[in-house]
Structure 1
Amino acid sequence: MITVGIPFYNAEDFLAEAIKSVLAQTYQNWELLLIDDGSKDKSLEIAKTFESQDNRIRVISDGVNKKLPGRLNQIIYEANGDYIARMDADDIMHPRRLEKQLKILQMYSDIDILGSNAYVIDENNLVFGQRFAKTDGLQKVDHFIHPTVIGKKQWFLDNPYDEKAIRIEDAELWYRTKSFSNFMITNEPLLFYREFGNNYYKKYFQANGSAMHILNKYPEDKFWKNFFLSNKVKGSMYKILNVIGKEQVLIDRRNEKIFEKKINFEKWLEIHESK
């Protein structure tokens, strides 16, 4: 069984679509953990509605805002599956994501964590690119698009997230474990990953809020010094473009363009799956 974990905080605009994409999976031997992080909107109400309709869905809420790393560890400890699949509350799974990733993990049992390529969508579910140009084969990596990953539960138990690494919990985890772990991605896009220019620059500045903790943890490591410097530069660039209403321009440049015009993800699936 696969445990799909979705932590959420004030995600009422997109949470239902994320849950529906799990329900629509071709692989159906899953449980879905919906972990509320102290939402103030209707997210918890939405989650509980789905929980009442499917006994594979479990909602956990304590009313506290513990931040993402703590909730990710909570998913690990609550999971009943042999594998744990990550997903964010504003993303959408490809309907064959679990089926395809599990098949690879069963074929190559030495893989610890398996990620994937991703289509990129905006706030209106329009596909406007994909993260990487290559779309076939497996590739060894040392980091991932975080919500695309699936891995062995035991690996996550042995290597929990650093709960003080706010906004960079994934980068810190991959960095800490890459020397003894087998990280792979399938270059096939299996997630619709949401990115749009709505104060995107704040993500970089918030990540730098963990700088003191990380630099104390890795005092001699140039990687992290360069990481936080790069974040500061990127955050400043995004903020300038945000002020003039052009933040989306930088976001678009992060991805490979697929069509001249954006297309709804459901239409894209219809076209792509018919090939």
Structure 2
Amino acid sequence: MEIPNNNIIVTIAIPFYNAVDFLAQAIDSVLWQTYTNWQLILLDDGSTDASLAIAKDYAAKDKRISVISDGQNKNLGYRLNQIPSLVTTEYLARMDADDIMHPQRIEKQLNILIAHPEIDVLGTNAYTINEKNEVDGLRQEYSLNQPLKKVKGFIHPTIMAKTQWFRNNPYDVKAVRIEDAELWYRTNQSSNFMMLMEPLFFYREFGGEYYKKYFKANEAKTYILNKYDSNEDWKLFFRNNILKGCVYSLYNIFGVEKILIKKRNFLLNKDELERANTNLKNLLE
């Protein structure tokens, strides 16, 4: 199905906070989309580095880009809930400030959502990349025989949905660091979640002290267990977070935490990895 091109029907939104190292690449990946009739909202969360200046520079050069900044640091959940109130288009696509989109991401997701209105939220598969823009692996193995897959959750920045879905299903700002996991848990029974298994995203995972993310997620433990009456699924979630945090911490002591990060992914063979890296390099040149 051909996407209507007479009206702007999709907004891409990138919330950012002190993202000076990668924000320009994220914005560039929006600019190189094969589908060009979009709006881009760059939403600042009180950055103290040069991120806001970078965002304003892009907005000055392209009328499709707008920058929103109130100078305050509210946190990601607050900004994610603010975004739908700023959007006037039928569809809304998520993205993070340190990731990179494949050029056909928006076009392919829009085509599927328009052709299949029964889908509420559509994510995509993703290559994982490090701070050097090197592909480490693929989040999920896929086959051309299964282009779409029913899922219960997503790689968060890959999702696209009707803007009204986001308005109807706000993030819980008290679920700090696990806003997305809590949202998927709360809505997957009432919404039709599908993933486009083709990797149309480059999802950045890197850095030392990765274990802190698992421990940080457990700060919402008491709140979530109270909210869901000590649900067994959530108990298991938090137990696993503690276990993962301890294991990652141990690997961090020996400086080999990256081994565990890579194991989160489906490892590509040599030819596939070389091809993915070449494609990404060509995009960034």
Structure 1 unaligned residues grouped into runs of 5+: none
Matched, 1:153 2:153: no
1:242 shift after superposition: 1.2
1:88 shift after superposition: 0.7
Question: If the length of structure 1 is used for normalisation, what is the TM-score?
Answer: 0.95
Aligned to 1:221: 231
Query: Deviation per CA, 1:76-116, whole angstroms, max 9, x where unpaired?
Result: 11112211111110000000000000001011111000001
Aligned residues: 272
Aligned to 1:253: 263
Q: SS of 1:51's equivalent?
A: helix
Counterpart AA for 2:255 = G
Q: SS of 2:245's equivalent?
A: helix
1:150 shift after superposition: 0.4
* 8 Å CA contact retained: 1:120, 1:131: yes
Counterpart AA for 1:194 = R
Aligned to 1:267: 278
Aligned to 1:110: 118
Map of 1:172-211 to 2, 5 A cutoff? Answer: 172-211=182-221
Question: 2-side partners of 1:227 and 1:270: how far apart?
Answer: 37
Aligned to 2:5: none
Counterpart AA for 1:153 = T
Residue 168 (structure 1) aligned to one of 178, 182, 194: 178
1:270 shift after superposition: 7.9
Counterpart AA for 2:55 = A
Structure 2 unaligned residues grouped into runs of 5+: 1-8
Say what the alpha-carbon RMSD is for the aligned residues.
Answer: 1.7
Matched, 1:62 2:70: yes
Question: If the length of structure 2 is used for normalisation, what is the TM-score?
Answer: 0.91
Query: Deviation per CA, 1:196-227, whole angstroms, max 9, x where unpaired?
Result: 13221111111111111111111141111111
Aligned to 2:31: 23
* 8 Å CA contact retained: 1:126, 1:264: no
1:265 shift after superposition: 5.8
* 8 Å CA contact retained: 2:135, 2:277: no
Q: SS of 1:34's equivalent?
A: strand
1:263 shift after superposition: 4.8
Residue 141 (structure 1) aligned to one of 151, 163, 168: 151
Aligned to 1:93: 101
Aligned to 1:35: 43
After superposition, the Cα gap between the structure-2 partners of 1:217 and 1:123, relative to the gap in structure 1 and judged at 3 Å, is same
After superposition, the Cα gap between the structure-2 partners of 1:271 and 1:53, relative to the gap in structure 1 and judged at 3 Å, is closer
Counterpart AA for 1:267 = T
Question: 1-side partners of 2:139 and 2:71: how far apart?
Answer: 35
Question: 2-side partners of 1:264 and 1:17: how far apart?
Answer: 20
